[in-house]
Structure 1
């Protein structure tokens, strides 16, 4: 896992040679000038915004498990703001309409640029309990049976994605846009034909464009549906957002060439596509997504209290927050999974600089 994270940082360095490595995690201070919580704070609802990926009814119990901890810690009720578009959740934090949110690094960076009071609260660690291994994966996938079109002498590559129908998640997504678009621009931009290629050039398709057609799934689940239903030839989405709906049937987890299948009795939107199979033609590690706090709506003391409880052993061992195999076998649909020593850890804003360097 450490070698995969190193690959991510090396990739970033190729984009901006000035980019450094991931800093050691340390406490993220509340933003300077943060507004203290009003006197009514203990009884007013705390709003937590969620991206479309985590807004489905199948994840209600997982959202509620986190809300219970937050509510008990701050002695405030928690209301979930589920959304149908990334920008709705981001705008809620930017405009001080939400106290907390679960964003990818790109969404956090966008919110922080427009509202400096938005700060990282915690991130889920890697399986060894540290920030150094805290990664998930951005995939490029094609339907099974089409994978030979993206191989040369048996080796997978992305040369042949040009001119195809392609689906991103949202241009606010880290693993569903920022990382894959950056990799595509770097790879093809080195070719004479595509010198000067930018991420903006990948957003619209057409005869004179890089892609023949471009779709945005709106969520990672929606992007995989675009692929399964033949709206696109290639799709970019992440492993964690579809993990509840698919199973590995060939190859190694998160490895190029791995084959995944939609499970029987999958929740919506995959209940219509049991057995559909796809193949990974690229898999890139991405820095884990942060839970973020709004220092204009929460006091520094409240933010510190949340960090202390979320990084506690009790939360790390809560099977409804870091779901165990037993909990999942019993039907629990997880937001986060217990794969080892997984827990929440605190990181500084600079932890996300490798993603900033891709922009």
Structure 2
């Protein structure tokens, strides 16, 4: 009897284990998911971009028959963790955010990335800015050229230490520049994370988003701020100089949405401009089956998305969209190795 009982018990355990394994496999395959959850960084989580997010979601819903839910965030880490741990199936992350998510879970893969005006990856870049208030520009000039020597000792605003253009790229550039000077030859990016009397910066702030970092500058909380062009383009307009060039002056639009509505009319000037690899849409392949992955890739690179004026906004439009349409911009397939230049910044 005892042997029979143990035999039956072992069969039950094997059966339960098999069901559990099957259920786990099905859950990870994405085949039976009725909902696709897309996580967005704080930069793209504002109310002014609701229609743009919904436009992408609507096309995905129509083509897949699945419901799309948008997970907006107020913290970079929340969006990164969401796609890494599977609470989100897709996410729109910066290159650095993608790398951090993949480091947490190798099943996170890039899906597509917006191109440049050529419609290819050759010019798929945006720009990381270091900016100061217009009236203070003389402190950051060496003759007619712009220089960052005097940012040391100032109040500085980053976006988030998980931001590509709002931390990783500018901090690397600052370290490379100042480490050539004897007084700062041992400077590291970690030395820029906090301010203080014995630190490189007197105070370090984090905007939480590119918009927040820009407002830190324009509200007087910071002397210098790092943020990118694409995340503030909906709120500012070129007032002087050339687009994305040191010396260019930008002015906050009269009808700017939050958080720029508190600094309408304020002007800032660029002292440094650095190109950065465009941000990808990524997926968690544990949640999304291969069939659905292929379907999503086809959807995101389709003419329906490319020609959607709420996703790729015409230059003369006042609509707040995700991407500008100046020529042949679209979303194209991208591989992990394309982001290696950003990985190199951490070495």
> Out of 30, 33, 37, which is 1:37 matched to?
30
* Cα distance in 2, alignment partners of residues 188 and 272 from structure 1: 34
- Report what 1:51 is aligned to: 41
> Out of 158, 164, 175, which is 2:165 matched to?
175
State the 1:71 CA deviation.
Answer: 1.5
- Report what 1:230 is aligned to: 220
State the 1:152 CA deviation.
Answer: 1.0
Secondary structure of the residue aligned to 2:29 is coil
- Report what 2:201 is aligned to: 211
State the 1:262 CA deviation.
Answer: 0.2
In the superposition, the TM-score normalised over structure 2's length comes to 0.90
Deviations 1:182-208 (A, max 9, x none): 000111112111112111100111111
- Report what 1:337 is aligned to: 324
- Report what 1:349 is aligned to: 336
Secondary structure of the residue aligned to 1:79 is strand
Deviations 1:44-84 (A, max 9, x none): 22111001111111000000011112222221100110001
Deviations 1:232-252 (A, max 9, x none): 100000000000000001000
Q: As a proportion of its length, which structure holds more helix?
A: 2
Secondary structure of the residue aligned to 2:135 is coil
Secondary structure of the residue aligned to 2:161 is coil
Find out whether 1:109 has 2:116 as its counterpart.
no
Find out whether 1:281 has 2:268 as its counterpart.
no
Where does structure 1 differ by over 6 angstroms across 4 or more consecutive aligned residues?
none
> Out of 247, 254, 264, which is 2:254 matched to?
264
Deviations 1:18-42 (A, max 9, x none): xxxxxxxxxxxxxxxx94224x32x
> Out of 133, 137, 156, which is 1:166 matched to?
156
Unmatched runs of 5 consecutive residues or more in structure 1: 1-33
Secondary structure of the residue aligned to 2:122 is coil
Deviations 1:206-230 (A, max 9, x none): 1111001100010001101100111
In the superposition, the TM-score normalised over structure 1's length comes to 0.87
Count of residues in correspondence between the two structures? 321
What RMSD over aligned residues (CA atoms) do the two structures have, in Å? 1.3
State the 1:320 CA deviation.
Answer: 1.5
* Cα distance in 1, alignment partners of residues 180 and 331 from structure 2: 39
* Cα distance in 1, alignment partners of residues 315 and 339 from structure 2: 30
Greater C-alpha Rg: 2
* Cα distance in 2, alignment partners of residues 94 and 196 from structure 1: 34
